A and B are shown apart, each in its own frame.
Chain A
Amino acid sequence: MAVTHLDNARMAGVSRTSIKVPWVSFIKYALLLLLAFMFVLPLLWMVSSALKIDDQVYRVPPIWFPVPAHPENFYNAWNRYNFSLFAFNSVVRYAIPSTILVTLSSAIVAYGFSRLHWVGRNLLFGLCLATIMIPAQVTLVPLFITFKQLGWLNSYQPLVIPGMFGSPWFIFLLRQFFMTIPQELSDAARIDGASELGILTRVIMPLSVPSLIAVALFQFLATWNDYLGPLVYINNQQLFPLALGIGLLRRALSETGTTGLVYPYLMAVSALVTVPILFLYFFAQRRFIEGITTTGMKG
Chain B
Amino acid sequence: MASLTKSIRNSFTESTTQRRTTLLGLLFVSPWLIGFLVFTLYPLLSSMYYSLTRYDLIRPPVFIGLDNYIELFTDDPSFETVMRNTLFYVGLSAPLGVITAFLMANLLNSKVVGRSWFRAIFFFPSIIPAIVTAAVWQFLLNIQFGAINGYLQQIGAQTIPFLSNPSWTKPSLIMIHVWAQGGAVVVFLAALQDVPRSLYEAATVDGANAWQRFKSITVPMCTPAILLNLVTSFIAGFQNFTLPNQLFPDGGPSLSAEMYTTYLYRNAFTYLRMGKASALAWLLFLIIIFFTVLFFRTSRNWVHYGGD
Chain A contact residues, CB within 8 Å of chain B: 7, 10-15, 17-18, 24, 28-29, 31-32, 35-36, 38-43, 45-46, 49, 57-62, 105, 108-109, 111-113, 116-121, 124, 127-128, 131, 133-146, 148, 162, 164-166, 168, 171, 183-184, 187-188, 190-191, 196, 221, 224-225, 227-228, 232, 242-243, 246-247, 250, 254, 263, 266-267, 270, 273-274, 277-278, 281-282, 285, 288-289, 292-293, 296-299
CB–CB A285/B1 < 8 A: no
Closest Cβ neighbor of B18 among chain A residues? A119
Nearest Cβ on chain B to A92's Cβ, whole angstroms: 18
CB–CB B57/A145 < 8 A: yes
Mark each residue of chain B from 187 to 204: 1 if its CB lies under 8 Å from any CB of chain A, else 0.
101100100010011001
C-alpha spacing A231/B44, complex, angstroms: 21
B294 located at the interface, meaning its Cβ lies under 8 Å from any Cβ of chain A in the complex: no
> Considering the complex of A and B, which 5 residue pairs feature the smallest CB-CB distances, nearest first?
A165-B35, A298-B183, A112-B28, A118-B25, A139-B43
Closest Cβ neighbor of B5 among chain A residues? A187
Among B80-88, B148-156, B164-172, which stretch is in contact with chain A?
B148-156
Chain B contact residues, CB within 8 Å of chain A: 1-2, 4-5, 8, 18, 21-22, 24-29, 31-36, 38-40, 42-44, 46-47, 50, 57, 104, 107-112, 116, 118-132, 135-137, 139-140, 144-147, 150-151, 153-154, 179, 181-184, 186-187, 189-190, 193, 197, 200-201, 204, 210, 225, 228-229, 232, 235-236, 238-239, 241-242, 245-246, 249, 261, 264-265, 268-269, 274, 277-278, 281-282, 284-285, 288-289, 292
Closest Cβ neighbor of A28 among chain B residues? B107
With A10-B197, A43-B136, A164-B31: A273-B57 Cβ-Cβ less than 8 Å:
no
CB–CB B131/A247 < 8 A: yes
Closest Cβ neighbor of A12 among chain B residues? B111
Nearest Cβ on chain A to B109's Cβ, whole angstroms: 8
Residues of A within 8 A of B204 (CB): 17
CB–CB B125/A42 < 8 A: yes
CB–CB B147/A35 < 8 A: no
C-alpha spacing A146/B40, complex, angstroms: 12
Closest Cβ neighbor of B117 among chain A residues? A36
CB–CB B154/A45 < 8 A: no
CB–CB A45/B136 < 8 A: yes
Nearest Cβ on chain A to B102's Cβ, whole angstroms: 13
Residues of B within 8 A of A58 (CB): 144-145
- Chain B contact residues: helix, strand, loop or mixed: helix
C-alpha spacing A14/B27, complex, angstroms: 50
CB–CB A289/B186 < 8 A: yes
C-alpha spacing A108/B32, complex, angstroms: 9
With A7-B193, A142-B43, A187-B5: A297-B183 Cβ-Cβ less than 8 Å:
yes
Nearest Cβ on chain A to B118's Cβ, whole angstroms: 6
With A112-B27, A227-B242: A14-B150 Cβ-Cβ less than 8 Å:
no
CB–CB A60/B150 < 8 A: yes
Highest count of chain A CB atoms <10 Å: which of B32, B193, B249, B285: B32
CB–CB B151/A141 < 8 A: no
CB–CB A292/B147 < 8 A: no
Residues of B within 8 A of A292 (CB): 183, 186-187, 190
Closest Cβ neighbor of A132 among chain B residues? B235
C-alpha spacing A138/B246, complex, angstroms: 21
